[in-house]
Amino acid sequence: MKLNRFGRLQRLLLLAGASLIALVALGYHPTPVKAQDSQINQTATGSWLAASFPVENFQEYSSPYGPRGEGEFHYGLDIAAPQGSYIRNWWAGEVVEVIDDDRCGTGLVIASGKWEHVYCHMEGQVGQANGRNYLIDREGGIIIWQNEQLSAGVRIGRVGMSGRTSGPHLHWGLRYAENWIDPGTVLRAMYGEQTAALSRRLDGQ
């Protein structure tokens, strides 16, 4: 018995896990910044199809990229999820820093070519062995070493409340060629390409 179009869509979404389609259905429509959209289109090599949304059990975007009160600037996008939800690596790359400070808390910086993705407020602690730092979250079954190579989509930690935060969320920052980028514009580009690819798959069945 053949599945109808809606049935095929359900099956693909279940196989895909955390789908960007589901995120947009929950109400996230990032406002593009024209200069950054142009830069992303020029600097994104290959395809956004390999990129992974960074948080499981997504709830909401609790704080956008951009200026805050009293002259502060928020260099990232806060993605709220229940404490203990797994965080996934956005793009394949190398762990270049394991963070342990009062502001970011426990976190990671992963380099993917000219891109750097920053993850803050994670569960776990930072340790050191043989001259290398590592993030360890025993309850979550996670250990990530500095200089480790990671594939896109692998679990790299869990949402926590380390550092300066009033609630469980992932602070997710992106830099390209050492310049900060609004993560919302990247999600917009990912959404466009990934949903187009999903539509092509559905039309081909």
Element (H, E) at 192: helix 183-203
pLDDT value, residue 69? 81
How far is it, in rounded angstroms, from Cα 87 to Cα 144?
12
Q: Residue 151 corresponds to which amino acid?
A: S
Tell me the mean pLDDT in the region 163-170. Answer: 95
pLDDT value, residue 109? 98
Residue 76: is its pLDDT beyond 60?
A: yes
Is 182 exposed, middle or buried, given 0-12, 13-18 or 19+ CB atoms closer than 10 A? Answer: buried
Topology classification of domain 5-203 = Glucose Permease (Domain IIA) (2.70.70)
Two tokens, residue 18: 């955390």
Q: Residue 10 corresponds to which amino acid?
A: Q
For residue 162, what are the CA distances in angstroms to 83, 87, 143, 158, 166?
A: 11, 14, 17, 11, 10
The residue among 34 and 119 whose pLDDT is bigger is 119
Could you tell me what percent of the chain has a pLDDT over 90?
Answer: 65
Total number of residues shown for the chain? 205
Of 17-31, 65-79, 81-95, 171-185, the range with the lowest mean pLDDT is 17-31
pLDDT value, residue 107? 98
Domain ranges (residues) in the chain? 5-203
